[in-house]
Each structure stands twice: as structure tokens, then as C-alpha cells.
Amino acid sequence: MLIRPFAAILFLTLSWSQPAAATGKHDDSHGKIFEVLKEVDGLPIWMGLYMQGHKVGYFTSNVVDEQASSAPTVTMTTKMIFVVRSGDEVIRQETTAREIFDRRPPFRLRSLTEETMQKGQVERLRIRRVDGPTAYVAEIIQGGESRTEKLELDYRLAHAFSHDLWLRGHPKPGARHRTYSFDSSKLRMVEDELRFKRRVTQMVQGVTTTYSVYDHTFDLKSSDRMTGEMMVLPDGTPLKLSIGGLVEGRLEYEALAKQLDKPQDLFVNNLVAVDGRIGDPRYVSQLVLEVDQALGAQLADGPGQRVLPLPEGRGFRVELNSKHRRDVRVKASERQEALEATLMIPARDSRVIALAKEAVGDAQGPEEQVKRLVRFVSDYVEDHSSIEPLTVMDVIAGKKGDCTEHSMLFAALARAIGIPTREVSGLVYGQNIDGAQAAFGGHAWNEVAVGGYWWPIDATWNETVINATHIRFSSANELATMAQLPKAKLRVIKVVPAAPKQPLPTQDIWDAIFKELE
């Protein structure tokens, strides 16, 4: 399951929606900062978290003006509880963060601590300022061991609160504003964009209320950027947050926020039944499906995938092919991003580098290295749907997991030896087992950049050429796509097997592909 990556995205999104004010371009005016601190000082905000109508957690944040201390600071604290079911296990993930800023201009970050706990596993990030105003050291603890990294960072209180002052300037519908935020998962500043939509006055719980509605696009230049719709009260308090129509954060009293529904199994809740017979997915080299309008509108072309609208809005035709024509070139920006080391993909960790070298051995060239990595990860990680390792380092230690752990480990190992790799989410077909209805279920795999093109691989299934039942989600629309799954409809139009009673000859196909590229 995608619990850890999803929860990390959700926490970052909620953290960036806290109330307060300042400008996005280093406007560190004493008056503006201190005026807002008087309004929000010591007033915590609580939000209930909902997924597809089920309450799965809560979030709280608080800003404290510690002006009376010997070294005056402004402290921002956040906490998120996220509870879901995975098979027979209930998984509770708790993330807390504390950011401390100087109380004097230019209000730079002094230190940051972020900790995620899940079933006895802990991930901890500590950032502290050292020599110079923008020099920091990050200590990262994952899998019970620590590593350090040096950071050059200019993160200020103005960045953390830029959205609120912009709204106080009464922007007109369609107005846009660029700002920056600190992405702790990437250990760097990222550019965001705000787009004002409208100002609304209506009755909310019996009280006439005015609020602003705007879109917040996070990490604007990233291929996996996402947009959340924010509803914010005049004092900057978030009334409601919606991400891709899948997740909502709602302003609630503390007692109500903490009242959760029965834990939901995200995998089971999002299985998609299919009308028609497909058979063993390992044999499928081509597949043509018709999908409903709502789901199809969120899908996009990709390696081996074509999405075509049907006449009169009757849905979409999705054509899947395991041969993966050379049709998706690797952009320079994508290549750079696919080599990046992050908290989720710790490609610079010495243990990851050592394991990657062990996996590829004496393999020469990226093609042979990818083959060996796929086989290595497939053998290394024992399939287990109820095990939820918190980080890649926990996967390495425990050697168990599902498709998410396979794809995360593969990405880390591949990047560690210089092979650009990205994670992909989508659906894959599963045969009916013990009389259960055959369906498409959530899945994760990878794409590697070799020969100037993106080529999909699936380490979970030990496929160096993936079978044609993989439906790829667009990274920009991933959450919006997931929101459509409970009502999605799929119909089989055409199935082409690779050969009678013989799985796809992935190694032979792979060799032929790269011979063609020479």
C-alpha cells in the first residue's frame, strides 16, 4: 500500500496551509510579522482528515510567540495522526514537526525537527543552523541508523506564511502569486503558486461567514506537483482543504477532530471490477479497455499507454502495450529529478550504495544493470501485504513488503548507481482467487531512463518488460484519479497474449529493445 508516501504528501500539504501572514518575497517587516503573531499566538487549529468520505485522521497546528525568552523565537508545531487498515493490521502513523524561527528580522529558520512513528519504526529529521546565516546540518535517522547532510538554506518565517498576506491584499479572481516553501522530504526550497478563485459569503453552521477560495500548487516545477483547493477565513484560519477530490481537511473542534471512523482498507476500497475476461496478466502483451468518462479524463499517455476520447463523451479508450514503443523521451528536467536523493529515496546513503553495487555486480552498462536490479529487488523483498516498512532503510532491514516497498527500494538502488528512475502509481489486473471477482487494484512500479527514453519495469513481478495490464496514473493527477476509483467502470475490448501458456519473455524482449537502440 501507499501509506507512507501518501501520508508524507498529506502532512506537507497541511503544514503549508497554516494561518499567519507575511509576503513571499522576503518582506520581513516588523509590523506585519508581529501584528499577525498577536492574532494567532497560542491558538491551535484542529482539522479532521477525510478520505473518500471516511474519517482517517486529524491534524493540528499551533504558532507560539516566545518573545519573553532570553533568545526570542517564533515556534510552529504541527502534528498529524493517520489511521488505516492493511489486511488484518491497523496501521497508525503519527508525524510531528517543530520549526523554530528567529524573532528578529530576517526571521530565518533556527532549527527544525520532524518525526514519524509507525509500529515501532521511527524516522527522524533534525536540521540546525551552524556557521553563517544560511548554513545548516541535517541529521537523518532511518532504520535505526543516522547520517548527516550539509544544507544551504534560506527559509524564513515570511515563506511559511506568505499566502495569508496575499489574501489580505484582496486579489481579484484569476490573480496568481508565486512563493516558496521548504519541502522537508527533499531537503530544499520549492516554488509554489497560489491562484485566487473567489470570495464567498454564506451561512456556515448557522453563522454568516466570509471566506476566500484559492488553489495552492505545491512544488510547481516538479513532475509530481499537485494542487489543493483551500478555503480560508479572513484571519487566515483554514476552513477546508481538498486535495484532488480524494482527501479533505475540515476545521473542527479538538474533541470532534479526534473522533475517527473505523479504519479503512485503502486497497480493498479502491478495487475496480472489470467487465470481460483477461486471464493471467503475465501472458498479456496488448490490452484495450473502455473506461468511464470520469476516470478516463484523469489518465494520460505514457510509455506503452494511449488514452483516446470516445465520441459524444461516452468515456475513453485505453490502449496498453507491453512492447513500449520509443515514444516518451526523457526531458533534461525529468532526468535531473529522477536522480535526486530524498528522504523517501535515500540514494546517497552508504548502505544503499553498497547494496546497489552488490546487486549489479560486474554488470556492464545500464541495460544489464537494470536487469540485475529488477531480479535482485524481486528476490530481496519477500511479498507481504500487511507489512508496512516506514522507510527504504526499514525495507532493507526487514526484507518484506508489497509493491510500494519494491518500487521504493528499486528507485533508491538505481539512483545510487546513476540510473535515472522514477516511481509510478496506477492499477494492475489481478486474477480472481478463491472465487473472488477479478479486478484491477492499486499498484506501484518504476520507469528507468535508458537510451533517452522512459522504459517501465516492475520489480514486484520481476518484469523487465511489464505486462500490458498496467494502467499508469499521471503523477500530476494521481490523487484526483484515485478519487474516481470507487465508481470507476472498465470494459475489456481486446486482449492479446504473448504466447499460449507462456509468460512474457521479458529478458529476450529487453535485449531486442536495446539492440534496436544501438
Structure confidence at residue 175 as a pLDDT band (50, 70, 90): very high
The reply to whether CATH 3.40.50.20 applies to domain 340-419 is: no
For 247, residues 6+ apart whose C-beta sits below 8 A from its C-beta are 10, 49, 50, 51, 479
Q: How many Å apart are CA 120 and CA 487, to the nearest integer?
A: 36
* Predicted pLDDT of residue 68: 77
- Lowest-pLDDT range, 60-69, 101-110, 333-342? 60-69
- Specify which residues 228 forms β-bridges with: 216, 243
The whole-chain average pLDDT of the chain stands at 86
The stretches of 305-457 forming alpha helices (DSSP H) are 332-337, 350-360, 365-380, 392-398, 403-416
Query: Is the C-alpha dihedral spanning 328, 329, 331, 337 positive or negative?
Result: positive
* Predicted pLDDT of residue 510: 41
The stretches of 213-364 forming alpha helices (DSSP H) are 254-257, 266-269, 293-296, 332-337, 350-360
Share of the chain above pLDDT 70, in %: 86
123 touches 343 (CB < 8 A): yes
Q: What are phi and psi of 246, to 5 degrees?
A: -100, -40
At 336, the amino acid letter reads Q
Q: How many Å apart are CA 392 and CA 401, to the nearest integer?
A: 10
- Which of 94, 185, 82, 101 is closest to 140 using CA atoms? 185
Burial 231-249 (b: 16+ CB within 10 A, else e): bbbeebbbbbbbbbbbbbb
pLDDT above 70: residue 332? yes
294 touches 315 (CB < 8 A): no
Per-residue pLDDT tens for 379-436?
Answer: 999 988 766 788 999 999 999 989 999 999 999 999 999 999 999 999 999 865 444 5
pLDDT above 60: residue 28? no
* Predicted pLDDT of residue 128: 98
- Lowest-pLDDT range, 1-15, 222-236, 395-409? 1-15
Within a 13 Å sphere around the CA of 141, how many CA atoms are in the beta-carbon half? 13
Query: What does the block give as the cell for 357?
Result: 553495487
Q: How many Å apart are CA 384 and CA 381, to the nearest integer?
A: 9
Question: Domain residues of the chain, as ranges?
Answer: 2-258, 268-329+423-517, 340-419
CA geometry: angle at 165 spanning 163 and 168, to 5°? 115
3-state secondary structure of 388: coil
The total number of residues shown for the chain amounts to 518
Q: How many Å apart are CA 359 and CA 396, to the nearest integer?
A: 13
453 touches 326 (CB < 8 A): yes
Structure confidence at residue 323 as a pLDDT band (50, 70, 90): confident
451 touches 325 (CB < 8 A): no
- Which of 356, 290, 337, 335 is closest to 317 using CA atoms? 290
pLDDT above 90: residue 16? no
The stretches of 382-504 forming alpha helices (DSSP H) are 392-398, 403-416, 478-484
Q: How many Å apart are CA 292 and CA 314, to the nearest integer?
A: 7
